Amino acid sequence: VSDSGASGLAQGVLEGDRRALARAITLVESTRPDHRRDAGALLDTLLSHTGNAMRIGVSGAPGAGKSTFIEAFGLHLVETKERRVAVLAVDPSSARGGGSILGDKTRMAALARDDRAFIRPSPSGGTLGGVARGTSDAMLVCEAAGFDTVIVETVGVGQSETAVDEMVDTFVLLVAPGAGDAIQGIKRGVTETADVVAVTKADGELHGSAQQAASEYADALRFLRRKYAAWAPMVLVTSALTGDGIDDVWDAVVRHHEVLASEGVLAARRREHAVHSFWARVREQLLSRLQDDVDAREQLGALEREVAAGQVSPTTAALQVTELA
């Protein structure tokens, strides 16, 4: 992207042009050093137009019903709440070369067709815990393009929940009834990050077990360390198929947002998130500078082999690496 190309791209994003938006996200997700520079310039231009969205993370086990829920939720928001919804879906299977990016787009077909919504599947290759490295920047680009609701979908696998929680305002954990023992999940600390727990698929023959799972979650949550003094996590029951409870989830998210905002926690969180993102970029760029340097890369390879062979301790080898930088 040339200089004029970069500012043209920013202009396009600010005007809400969808092709510009898609190109901008591709740029901020790129790891190429020249792209990183252009991405930085673009993000600086957009920065004063960001921060106006509700940032919502939706996580849950594989197959919990995240995509189906987000489609129903997103359609509800654009149709009845006058929201403009961007969905950033991190697709873990895409890294394995499966065709599931298409799968997810198909699953959110109605939302994808709606011009008040924008869906962007991102491969999760080269990620930290299942969150694409460019996701927080992609979120800023969506905000600059005028989306007032940004939803990040990730498969919940332990650390990815923390990674998502470090970029959103409200973390919604989706659980399916009967998908394992609810209490087990809580024991693993899975829901400590959750601001709202939604037991989904509460329809048909799963309705009863969804209610049961919800009350178990509510019980167990009482014993967990609170994330905020001012907010106790809510447990709700919903179905993406019937639409039951979808509006309750939205109400809970809105209320959570209001509580955080009124307590000054929202602004503090976002400041922390920006700083967190800064350090992540510092680590990433120092590392890629090393890996882009042919000599350094050779030495890194040699050190790695020595560590593997037990000839040198990881600590000493790492010290030698920092001398390469």
Ligand X SMILES: Nc1nc2c(ncn2[C@@H]2O[C@H](COP(=O)(O)OP(=O)(O)OP(=O)(O)O)[C@@H](O)[C@H]2O)c(=O)[nH]1
Q: How far is the CB of 308 from Mg ion (least distance, A)?
A: 36
Buried b (16+ CB within 10 A) or exposed e, 69-81: bbbbbbbbbbeee
One residue of 6, 38, 59, 66 binding Mg ion per CB under 5 A: 66
| Residue 169 φ then ψ, to 5° | -85, -40
What letter represents residue 312's amino acid?
A: V
Looking at the Cβ atoms of 237 and 300, the one nearer to ligand X is 237
Enter the tokens of residue 284: 């990433």
One residue of 200, 252, 253, 266 binding ligand X per CB under 6 A: 200
DSSP states along 241-266: TT-TTHHHHHHHHHHHHHHHHHTTHH
Binding part of the chain for ligand X, among 25-33, 225-233, 235-243, 295-303 by CB under 6 A, reads 235-243
Looking at the Cβ atoms of 116 and 207, the one nearer to ligand X is 207
| Residue 200 φ then ψ, to 5° | -100, -175
Nearest CA among 46, 51, 53, 50 for reference residue 27: 46
Q: How far is the CB of 269 from ligand X (least distance, A)?
A: 26
Q: How far is the CB of 169 from ligand X (least distance, A)?
A: 21
What letter represents residue 143's amino acid?
A: E
One residue of 5, 63, 98, 314 binding ligand X per CB under 6 A: 63
Q: What angle do CA 120, 125, 128 make, to 5 degrees?
A: 100
Examine residue 306 and tell whether it contacts ligand X (CB under 6 A): no
One residue of 78, 218, 241, 280 binding ligand X per CB under 6 A: 241
Binding part of the chain for Mg ion, among 66-74, 237-245, 273-281, 303-311 by CB under 5 A, reads 66-74
Enter the tokens of residue 161: 């929940």
Site residues, ligand X (CB under 6 A): 60, 62-68, 107, 155, 200-201, 203-204, 239-241
